[in-house]
Amino acid sequence: MKQNLILLFLILLPTLANAGTAPPPTIPAARPDPKAVLDYSRAVIRINCTAQFFDFQRPWTKKNPLTRRGLGAIIGPNEVLVSASLVAGATYIEFERPTSAERTPALIKHIDYEANLALLEAADPAFLQNTQNLVLDETARLGSIVEILQLETNGEVAPTTGRITTITMAPGVIDDSLSLLIFRVTAPVQQRDYSFVLPVVKDGRLLGMGVLYDSRNQTTDIIPPPIIRRFLQDAMEKTLHSFPRAGIRFTPLRNPQLRKYLQHTANEGVLITGVDPRSPAAVAGIQKNDILMAINGVAIDPDGSFQHPEYGRIHLSYLITTAHRAGETVRFSLLRSGKPLEVPVVVLRFLPEHQSVPRYWIDRQPIYLIAGGFIFQELTRSYLKEWGNDWSNQAPQRLVAADFFQKSLRPNGEKVVFLSGVIPTPGTIGYENLGGTIVESVDDQPIHSIAQLKEALTTTVPKIFKIRITDDPRLIFLNSVTIEQAKLILARNYGITQLSNIPTAVPPPSQPSKSSPSPIPPATPPNVEPHQSPQGPEKPSDSIDSPSPAEAT
């Protein structure tokens, strides 16, 4: 009997020990983020775009239309985020519901070709009712798991899981002279329709827009949240203030012999090898052979990188193009002849029309003049890209050199006027094979724009003009009488009635003083066909604003 009581006591002991004590709490499941999207089919929209670009070989006309299809991310009431390259040169854009295939016209609300982002809206705002908005994810880091969204033909969402393997600075898709932050995701993305641009999500939030896919390495370049946030801020203000430049070039100071030659003992900093003449850095007084030690107190290592608290080691161009907006003051810590120097620089954004050879020229007709059958143009990178992906080797080399070395050859931003081709007329006999040669002067008057050329070829009396060019035969002679006669021939035989496109000149960006910032340059949308090849961005090397080797002058 006693043994039975002891056994009963032992059985009841845990219950007695817990008497009067609350049971241990149940750990609740993680609550879903109220802003997260669970049904992606209501947060994305198909985009159909018909585009037609100007023909830079025949600047009075356009090329054949083409169609692009992508997937947009719905981010607000009647607001859809896509890449600028999807809608570049657009003549018609429409939204298409993934499941029902209902369609409606869409309009560009804001576009930034350097950021490669565009904000679209439906012509009928009711079309995007009953959808869900994606909000930006700010938590992604190296190693984060994400999903790249695509659609099956039936409208079902087909996510592909991937991982962020690289966070770096890379050349832009449209303007490769500007380096911006990108996230690179490794994932085996399948070939599907509507994949020109793809939303990328993390935990129900928008991580970014996938714009370049490398099938060999199975990596997708993502425009990340910091770039999107800056773009949306500009869209709200209806301006282009983000992604400015300072205008300096540098070389790493990793080599011990170079540091010894410079008598630089610290294992920090980079050597400034060039300052663009009209740049904010030049106005602020930064000089060649200064050693850049820090930007806004952030130390720069000998390779030109710094330690970002969230992204790791990043190229220092982040501290200019991504961390600041145009008109803001950035503090440069320098060593000049061994003495420390603090220089405030008011960074600015340079639009294509402010460059000697614009890096891109989209949605705008080339600047040209046809005189007597001679086709004269102002050089742009878009014209050179008519020679394909290998344009730097295939295009006329004198024009390529004028583009690559424009800052040293034309420090004041003078345009490059060149003869692009010849149309047979009585005034062009003997000159039919000319093309790709730069115009130096007319009657010994230097020519730096099409507007100057037109003025130089304008006369009220019969006259023979002497046009000096860079290549054989070095001189072209053009009779003012044949210029007038050719107008009828060009219209009758070739259907060319628009003999020139000379827009009103845009003033260059105001130069800031050292005491106060200057006004921001006008925000006019720029122009050029986007790169669609899946080539991986190059690593930034010797320019604070640009990783392009062409900037190393």
Q: What pLDDT score was predicted for residue 49?
A: 97
Helix spans in 447-531 (H): 450-456, 480-494
Position 7 pLDDT exceeds 60: no
The verdict on residue 548 lying in a domain is no
Stretch 55-63: mean pLDDT: 95
Answer yes or no: do 260 and 329 share one domain. Answer: yes
Burial of 275 (C-beta count, 10 Å sphere; 0-12/13-18/19+): buried
- Is residue 260 situated within a structural domain? yes
The confidence score (pLDDT) of residue 544 equals: 43
Q: What is the mean pLDDT of residues 228-247?
A: 92
pTM value > 0.85: no
Looking at the fold, whether 106 and 230 belong to one and the same domain comes out as: yes
Residues 232 and 287 in one domain: no
The radius of gyration computed from the CA coordinates of the chain, to the nearest angstrom, equals: 30
For residues 62 and 137, membership in a common domain is answered with: yes
Q: What is the pLDDT at residue 509? A: 52
In whole angstroms, what is the distance from residue 450 CA to residue 32 CA?
61
pLDDT of amino acid 173:
86
What is the predicted pLDDT for the residue at 309?
92
Q: How many domains does the chain have?
A: 3
The residue out of 239, 274, 309 marking a domain boundary is: 239
What tens digit of pLDDT does each residue of 298-349 get? Answer: 999 999 999 999 999 999 999 999 999 999 999 999 999 989 999 999 999 9
**Do 61 and 80 have their domain in common?**
yes
| The two structure tokens encoding residue 282 | 């030049």
Structure tokens at 257: 């012999």
SS3 content of the chain, % helix, strand, coil (to 5): 20, 35, 45
pLDDT of residue 13: 41
- What tens digit of pLDDT does each residue of 124-165 get? 999 999 899 999 998 999 999 999 999 988 888 999 999 999
Question: 33 pLDDT band (50/70/90 cuts)?
Answer: low
Does residue 445 contact residue 438 with C-beta atoms inside 8 Å?
Answer: no
Nearest CA-CA partner of 514 in 324, 342, 285: 285
For the cut 80, the answer to whether the pLDDT of residue 406 exceeds it is yes
Tokens of 357: 């050879």
Residue 302 shares a structural domain with residue 187: no
Please state the rounded mean pLDDT for residues 380-392: 94
List, in order, residues 6 or more apart from 34 with CB less than 8 Å away: none
443 and 410 in a common domain: yes
> What is the model's pLDDT at position 506?
58
Which residue has 């102002």 as its token pair? 378
Q: Indicate if the alpha-carbon torsion angle 192, 194, 196, 197 is positive or negative.
A: negative
Nearest-angstrom CA–CA distance, 284 and 147: 45
Tell whether 282 and 388 lie within a shared domain. Answer: no
Residue 505 is predicted with a pLDDT of 64
Among the three residues 174, 207, 239, which one is the final residue of a domain in this structure? Answer: 239
Please state, for a pLDDT cut of 70, what percent of the chain lies above it: 84
Query: Which CATH number covers residue 85?
Result: 2.40.10.120
Lowest mean pLDDT among 20-34, 358-372, 373-387, 476-490: 20-34
Q: Decide if 93 is inside a domain.
A: yes
**Confidence at residue 155, expressed as pLDDT on a 0 to 100 scale:** 85
Q: How much is the average pLDDT of 467-483?
A: 95
More confident position, 505 or 19: 505
CB 348 within 8 A of CB 310: no
What letter represents residue 258's amino acid? L
Q: Tell me the pLDDT tens digit for each residue of 495-541.
A: 999 999 998 765 555 444 333 332 323 333 333 333 333 333 333 33
Helix runs in 291-449, H state only: 381-384, 391-394, 397-404, 406-409
Tens of pLDDT, residue by residue over 80-128, are 999 999 999 999 999 999 888 899 999 999 999 999 999 999 999 999 9
d(CA 327, CA 321): 12
Domain that holds residue 339: 248-348
pLDDT at 513: 37
The yes-or-no verdict on residue 408 having pLDDT over 50 is: yes
Rounded alpha-carbon distances, angstroms, from residue 390 to 298, 355, 540 = 38, 23, 20
Is residue 287 located within the same domain as residue 150? no
pLDDT band per the 50, 70, 90 thresholds, residue 545: very low
Which ranges constitute the DSSP H helices of 48-207? 84-87
Answer yes or no: do 142 and 235 share one domain. yes
What phi and psi values does residue 346 have, to the nearest 5 degrees? -90, 105
Per residue in 256-272, pLDDT (tens digit) is: 999 999 999 888 999 99
Among residues 239, 270, 295, which one ends one of the domains?
239
State the amino acid at position 230 in one-letter form.
R
Give the span between the Cα atoms of 553 and 546, in whole angstroms: 12
Does the pLDDT value for residue 386 go beyond 90? yes
pLDDT on residue 277:
86
Q: Is residue 525 part of a domain?
A: no
Given this model, what pLDDT does residue 162 score?
96
Tokens encoding 13:
């002991």
Q: What is the CATH number of the domain that holds 487?
A: 3.20.190.20
CB-CB contact of 391 with 385 (8 Å): yes
- The residues facing 66 across adjacent strands are 51
- CATH number for 290: 2.30.42.10
Decide if pLDDT at 491 tops 80: yes
Residues 219 and 105 in one domain: yes
- 448 near 440, Cβ under 8 Å? no
Cα separation, 272 vs 265, in Å, equals 17
Assess whether pLDDT exceeds 70 at residue 47: yes
Query: Does residue 135 sit in the same domain as residue 265?
Result: no
Is residue 25, in this structure, part of any structural domain at all? no
**pLDDT(59) > 90:** yes
Is 326 a member of any domain?
A: yes
Q: Does residue 38 register a pLDDT over 60?
A: yes
What is the average pLDDT across 404-427?
Answer: 92
Q: Is the pLDDT of residue 54 over 50?
A: yes
In a domain? residue 208 = yes
At residue 169, does pLDDT exceed 70? yes
27 domain residue, yes or no: no
pLDDT at 85: 95
Does 175 or 454 have the greater pLDDT score?
Answer: 454
